[in-house]
Amino acid sequence: MDKFTNSAWFMRIVAFALAALLFISINFEMESDKKSLGLSTAPEISTETIENVPVEVYYDRENLVVSGVPETVDVTLKGAKSLLINAKNQRDFKVYVDLSDPAISMGDRTVTFKISELNEKLVATIDPEYAEVNVQERVTKEFSVEAEYNSSLLEEGYTAGQPTVSPKTVKITGAKDAIEQISYVKANLEISKGLTKR
């Protein structure tokens, strides 16, 4: 037995075993210390929903009218918890619809929401994902204004002269389809019952 324990190979094996145990022990303690200090190498993945995020719409506001885009959407973010907290508190990202193509065609269309200025390590899901919008040519048309009142509100025995309006014409700007549906503009005079003079 003494001969075996005094051999060079025995001493090498024992030294190797002790070195391996020491290596495992130190690494185990370092991992424990990292976790206790919050220095875990794998970040904690979490999900956070941010409600009522404003939607920006990019389009030619001088020549077009766009309707149907919701004012806000909900954004669900997935990623490291520290990044989520920062994104939720700062709200430094933008949700938008891009209709700025100069060759855009008029009428109904389905558009998807996009997000910009978001940390690339976060994954975003937008609810709803898309919107049904209507793109129309922006037009301005001039209309004459007519005055209107309920003559039955006058005191019995009284009559009213022809009402006058100022201004006599107004310009209305809006979507071409909506403007084409306007046939006249009336100013409704609010008078109380039993009117005898103005």
Structure tokens at 93: 């990202």
pLDDT recorded at residue 42: 61
pLDDT recorded at residue 184: 77
pLDDT recorded at residue 55: 94
pLDDT recorded at residue 92: 86
DSSP code at position 195: B
User: In this predicted model, what pLDDT tens digit does every residue of 107-153 receive, in sequence order?
Assistant: 898 999 999 999 888 999 999 999 999 999 888 888 888 877 666 66
pLDDT recorded at residue 36: 53
- What is the Cα–Cα distance from 146 to 169, expressed in whole angstroms? 9
Phi, psi for 82 (deg, rounded to 5): -65, -40
User: In this predicted model, what pLDDT tens digit does every residue of 21-38 receive, in sequence order?
Assistant: 877 877 766 555 555 555
Q: Which residues contact 40 (CB under 8 A, 6 or more apart)?
A: 34
- For the cut 80, the answer to whether the pLDDT of residue 161 exceeds it is no
Question: Is the CB of residue 85 less than 8 Å from the CB of residue 97?
Answer: no
pLDDT recorded at residue 169: 83
